[in-house]
Amino acid sequence: MVSASLYKRRLRACSQRGFTLVELMVVMLIISILLAVAVPSFIGAIRSAREAALREDLHTMRDAIEQYTEDKQAGPQSLDDLVQAGYLKQIPIDPMTRRSDTWVTEQSEDYSSVDETQPGIDNVHSGSDQVGSDGTPYSQW
């Protein structure tokens, strides 16, 4: 049989196995330092990914505008014309504004090719008012 004094010592040893307040504070400090280093890097990576998606979307839409203009000998009057004619499956969502109806189109009265019979959209930009990582506004990309 286990004596009462041995039982009390074991009970006391078990109750003293928890963490002290200082140990918990040190762990919280380490976690906060790691977060302070990791969060800005994570936010920067998200911004870079959105900028890459914006560049790709602009390239795709500008290419579709050129193809439409060459095939139809007339520029598209809206981005929806590109979808209806099958040059785009859908109007992409602007990664900066997170909406598909904020694209800003440029229409010129000049003809972009000799065969063109009607001017139309010849360029597209983001509708965002934010500035990119290179210092230029997204609306000028």
99-123 tens-digit pLDDT: 999 999 998 776 655 566 778 898 9
Beta partners for 107? 121
pLDDT of residue 62: 95
Give the pLDDT confidence of 48-99 residue by residue, as tens digits.
999 999 999 999 999 999 999 999 888 899 999 999 999 999 999 999 999 9
- What's the confidence (pLDDT) of residue 116? 60
If DSSP codes are grouped into helix, strand and coil, which group holds residue 129?
A: coil
Query: pTM higher than 0.95 for the full model?
Result: no
Q: What burial class does residue 61 get, using C-beta atoms within 10 Å of its C-beta: 0-12 exposed, 13-18 middle, 19+ buried? A: buried
